[in-house]
Amino acid sequence: MLFEDTDVTGQATNTQTRFTDTGQNLTGFDRDRLDSDDERTLKLREEQLDVQKDRVQTGEVKVHKDVVEEQESIYVPVSREEVYVERREVDNFDADAGEIGGDETIRVPIVEEKVEVTKRPVVTEELVIGKKEVQSTERVVENVKREEAHIETDDERDFDGKRDVLDNGRNDRF
């Protein structure tokens, strides 16, 4: 009987190992007897993880402005003028009194400061909005399947004992 190792694509490797059989059928092969020139193949398969990443939107950040109105009080110092009239008694009656009934008027301008409030917008701070990419590692655990060959014979030969060699180096011979 001829056993042939193949690579992942199913192509035969260059080395071959031959085992003779006493005519017993092997599990997994066609139940017909194999002639000495016939070859049969059994493909062993295993699952391998193929990881792909998709970019999905997980949220959104909105930044907007609201107008907030509040009352503000400030104290502004202002000045004003006041007119005072003071009456004094006169001791000297001899002073030049002038004519009675003459038109004599004193005008005193009075000035005061009035507060005028105007408003103007000013920039008090600036927001810088952006985004950055952060790398992290995510652990993915998944079960995978693999096919193994088990060789059974009617006599005492142990082909399964050689399986560890096959499992460790997939193209090694036993």
Q: Tell me the per-residue pLDDT of 11-50, one tens digit each, with 9 for 90 and over.
A: 555 544 444 444 444 444 445 566 777 788 889 999 999 9
115 inside domain: no
Residue of higher predicted confidence among 95 and 59: 59
Residue located via tokens 């001791």: 91
Over residues 131-148, the pLDDT tens digits come to: 999 999 999 999 999 999
- pLDDT for position 23: 46
106 is a domain residue: no
Mean pLDDT of the chain, nearest integer? 78
Q: pLDDT: is 90 or 78 the higher one?
A: 78
Structure tokens at 174: 């036993």
Handedness of CA 9, 12, 14, 17 (dihedral sign): positive
- Report yes or no on 39 lying in a domain: yes
**Residue 41: inside a domain:** yes
Number of domain units in the chain: 1
Please give the pLDDT value at position 145.
92
| pLDDT score, position 63 | 93
In a domain, 81, yes or no: no
Q: pTM for this one?
A: 0.39
Question: Distance between CA 167 and CA 150 in Å, rounded?
Answer: 12
Least trusted range by pLDDT, from 89-93, 116-120, 170-174: 170-174
Give the residue numbers spanning the domain of 21: 1-48+126-174
What does the CA dihedral 132, 136, 142, 146 come to, rounded to 10 degrees? Answer: 100
Residue 139, domain member (yes or no): yes
